[in-house]
Structure 1
Amino acid sequence: MIQQIYPTPTHDFSYELNKDFHFAAAHSIPHETAGKCQYVHGHTYYANVTIAGEDLNELGFLVNFQTIKKLLHDRFDHGVMNDDEFFSEKSNEFPSTEVVARLMYEIIQEYLDTTENKPTCLQIFLRETPTSYVVYRPKRGGKA
């Protein structure tokens, strides 16, 4: 994994967990104003998930790193994001980096809400190219 400095969200939690991973995926933005991006093309995305909380689970984790990888990497790696159930069911949502970052947050937070210790996803950092990235942070209160 490449070494990166990520924007850091301000918070008062005792614990902060960060998980880096990368995945290869294709997408298109099927709109005439998207230029070359309207055609199917691929990227090697680099992601960082930031989770924070006060309480650890029975294993001493905020959340298991493997769980984050299963929820996100396994879902998007080596796929066409337009074919993901989220995008195929919503014709008005395109898999832009901004929307994918928000979707990743929603997937993670939905899982975290089911856990006993209830940590919070503070941000998703998603790099699409070496020079372009998005940071998604939910509004205060944790709602997307």
Structure 2
Amino acid sequence: MLQQIYPSAPHDYSYELNKDFQFDAAHFVPSEAAGKCQRIHGHTYYANVTVAGDELDESGFLVNFALIKELIHGRFDHTLLNDDSASFDGENPDRFPTTEVVARTVWELVQAYLDGMPNKPVCLQVYLRETPTSYCIYRPKRKAASHE
């Protein structure tokens, strides 16, 4: 993922950081409309998380890059996403582990972590590539991202 260019989310913050990482996970989409994706299969997901803010923390970071990676990689790498019942649900289509829902879930996990930081950075977007030709970008509505 060297020198990958991602669509940017417009903002007025002083700092923006982007963290790239990958994780390997299996999933299935419990819907007849999903076709072949109803069967368990795996992906190497490539993710980019964009965080922005105006203040640095006591270490001079907006947020430590390694912590962003660990939040997601540590939770999802080499798992069956459907088994994570805190994040995904086989009965509710809004929580099936589709690329869209996984991207939103990554945002939710990162933002929940950021909410506990005294410098209050925000996660602006999550870019999640599922295959070489398919990806999703999740950007929360401005009100959710800025906690206005």
TM-score range (shorter-chain normalised) is: over 0.9
Calculate the TM-score normalised by the size of structure 1. 0.95
Calculate the TM-score normalised by the size of structure 2. 0.92
Give the secondary-structure state (helix, strand or coil) at the position aligned to 1:73: helix
In structure 2, relative to structure 1, the CA distance for the partners of 1:88 and 1:47 (3 Å cut) is closer
In the alignment, what sits opposite 2:16?
Answer: 16
Q: Aligned AA for 1:27?
A: H
Give the 4+ runs in structure 1 shifted more than 6 A. none
In the alignment, what sits opposite 2:67?
Answer: 67
Q: 1:41 deviation in Å?
A: 0.1
Q: Deviations over 1:81-128 (max 9, x none)?
A: 000133455631210000000001000111101110000000000000
In the alignment, what sits opposite 1:84?
Answer: 84
Query: Taking every aligned residue pair, what percent have the same amino acid on both sides?
Result: 63
Indicate if the aligned counterparts of 2:68 and 2:110 stay in contact, CA closer than 8 A.
yes
Alignment: residue pair count: 144
In structure 2, relative to structure 1, the CA distance for the partners of 1:48 and 1:38 (3 Å cut) is same
1:97, 1:89 → 2: CA distance?
A: 14
1:25-104 equivalences under 5 Å are 25-87=25-87, 91-92=91-92, 93-104=95-106
Q: 1:142 deviation in Å?
A: 2.5
In the alignment, what sits opposite 2:127?
Answer: 125
RMSD: 1.5
1:58, 1:87 → 2: CA distance?
A: 31
Indicate if the aligned counterparts of 2:26 and 2:41 stay in contact, CA closer than 8 A.
yes
Indicate if the aligned counterparts of 1:120 and 1:142 stay in contact, CA closer than 8 A.
no
Q: 1:4 deviation in Å?
A: 1.3
Gap regions ≥5 residues in structure 2: none
Indicate if the aligned counterparts of 2:28 and 2:40 stay in contact, CA closer than 8 A.
yes
